[in-house]
Chain A
Amino acid sequence: MNGVEGFMYPNEINLQWSVLIVLYPYITGLVAGAFILASLVRVFRVHAVAPTYRLALLTALAFLIVAPLPLQLHLGHPERSPEMYFTPHSTSAMAMFGYVYLWYLMAVLAFEIWLDYRKDIVLLSQSSTGWLKRLYSIMTLGSLNISPEALKIDDRVGWIVTVIGIPSAFLLHGYVGFIFGSIKANPWWSSPLMPVVFIFSAMTSGVAAVMLIYMAATKLRKLKIDIKCVDTIAMYLFYIFIIDFGLEMLDLIHRIYEADESFRSLNFMVHTRLYFSHIVVQILMGTITPIVLLAITQLVKLPEYVRKRIYVIVGCLVQVGIFAMRWNVVIGGQLFSKSFLGYTTYKMGLVTREGLAPAIIFAILPFVILYVLIKLLPPWEGGSHGAPDPASNPVH
């Protein structure tokens, strides 16, 4: 009967959380990961990745703007979502969303970007014309002070914001892991490891995404990719990924060993309905392959052009793998019955409110926004934290 195998409670047969709910943690994951890459420069003084500093911040902002949209489309009554601001329920992890999002958007990301770009904004407000001039003038908040002393204060405050931003980024994405991990009714989700796994896979996808965007943008500008920058990113990506994989393996081994009442049902699900997305896409294609490729680049001395191609492949595989991980958590958690006696199927619509079409639109939209942001606030001039503009040495 309509894709059901075995027995499911009658109300369980249709899935509640769709591909849009898969997309949301993926997007906030990219935000958190991109910010962590930026913090590598600002707080941990890894100057090699400085060319990506501003780009990482803009990427985080572009994705953060899109993040609430899949949630709004999923809600039965999106017009009531301000209730989360007016009467948040203190026992609900989901209630945190409104405040954590707003905090991260305004007090961390927007603030840090504004502080780093303030000099450029003031100069642009003076050099541009028309409505752009008005926009930049608004963004200066009426203050045109870009004296060295003021900029030094900006730098100091920006450092503090980044330091606060790191746990804020963990909170922004970690609470999503807790939303799933705290549900005792669902054994696929319920785990104290869930927030940690979410954070590490977020860092993996975010760092890889900024690496890809940097390489693509530099290529499009017909300039030379800073290979030391990309090598360093790849190294951090490798270590973060190993931790992420280790955590997921720990969860798996623990489940298999303890074999509690849910194990047989979940095991069957992973071997049948979830086989392709979990074993093939997430584990083989999306985790083991990129880790092996990265390991090769770390251990074997390869020529630059080979490394660059490997990084691109790895970056893409990582995106697919981490998206698959979100899919397997959200969708996988709803495919089996809480009676452990049956399974259902996910029927994803195409051009429906929660179907594939809006998911694709939400996946593309951040890049459109990023393009606008890059035009508005060019990240290439370096500011006080970026490397000198590679416009001085174009690619041959």
Chain B
Amino acid sequence: MNLNRRHFLIMLPAAAIAWEHVLAGTPENSPNYNTADHWWGMLIDIPKCIGCGNCVRACAAENDVPDGHFRTWVERYHVTDYDMVNPQVISPDGGKEGFPVAEEDAGKYFFVPKLCNHCADSPCTQVCPVGATFVSPDGVVLIDQTYCLGCAYCVQACPYGCRYIHPEKKVVDKCTLCYHRITKGLTTACCENCPTGARQLADLKNPNDPIHEFLKTHHVQVLKPQMATGAKVFYNELDGSVR
């Protein structure tokens, strides 16, 4: 580090104060955050994803995700010719350690990162018998793990397979869109650590968010649109073979 001593001594308290705000726990300590001002989603740019698995590792580190379970994962598709109904798909350990090298072969390859779609009309919150999972006012599907019974009905109801039962806590768990980060002005762990910018947090209520321009100029899809879940994770150039 090339800081001289004087520079460092000036920087340190400022950085410390800034960090205090970042580390502040409850929304009361981040008084600038008002749920009514936000409607969260995500943009995933398929051509940019290189299948490095950084997002899967970062999510696991940020959220203490247990081994063998995934809040986010990456799938690799191999589509040969026009048969879109039989893609070859792999997701070795969710893509956590990347993917094996693919040999040159006919057809196309691409990677599809997946996570909870934070559906506006979420089928999982519909089926919860006690109200342990819900859509927050700012559009994030969250789980109250002190209230969840662990019945796994929501796991059955999710069309995307993004939920799992936590093996130790015995309650359901899933991607929270790093709620503890986005309410402090940070981005999600997966977006922060994606080296190519394939994953980007989007605030649909913010008129200045780049997603609005992106949606106007690109062809995007959501997963399983026929399920009418109101999914808010948008995929750029999603191939028709993606399940």
Contacts and interface: CB of A to CB of B under 8 A. Distances in A.
B21 to A, nearest CB: 35
Contact of A75 (B88, B126, B149, B158): B149
Interface stretch (A49-57, A81-89, A376-384): A81-89
B89 A7 contact: yes
Interface string B69-80: 110010100000
Nearest to A6: B89
Given A11-B69, A76-B165, A84 B160 contact: no
B73 A10 contact: yes
A183 B157 contact: yes
A259 to B, nearest CB: 12
A12 interface: yes
B91 A7 contact: yes
Given A91-B126, A183-B157, A77 B171 contact: yes
A74 interface: yes
A334 B91 CA distance: 19
A252 interface: no
B98 interface: no
Nearest to B94: A10
B4 to A, nearest CB: 49
Interface string A8-39: 11111000110000000000000000000000
B131 A87 contact: yes
B89 A89 contact: no
A186 B156 contact: yes
Interface string B48-92: 000000000000000000000110010100000000011111110
A29 B169 CA distance: 32
Contact of A95 (B88, B130, B164, B171): B130
B156 A16 contact: yes
B87 A341 contact: yes
Contact of A77 (B131, B170, B243): B170
Contact of A16 (B86, B91, B165): B165
A320 B35 CA distance: 54
A179 B129 CA distance: 11
A10 B131 contact: no
A318 to B, nearest CB: 28
A80 B147 contact: yes
A267 interface: no
Nearest to A264: B85
Nearest to A86: B130
B230 interface: no
Given A11-B70, A75-B149, A338-B161, A83 B130 contact: yes
B153 interface: yes
A12 B161 contact: yes
B128 A89 contact: yes
Contact of A184 (B132, B152, B159, B171): B159
Interface string B140-182: 0000000111111101111111111100011100000000000
Interface of A: 7-12, 16-17, 74-78, 80-81, 83-84, 87-89, 91-95, 97, 179, 182-186, 264, 333-334, 337-341
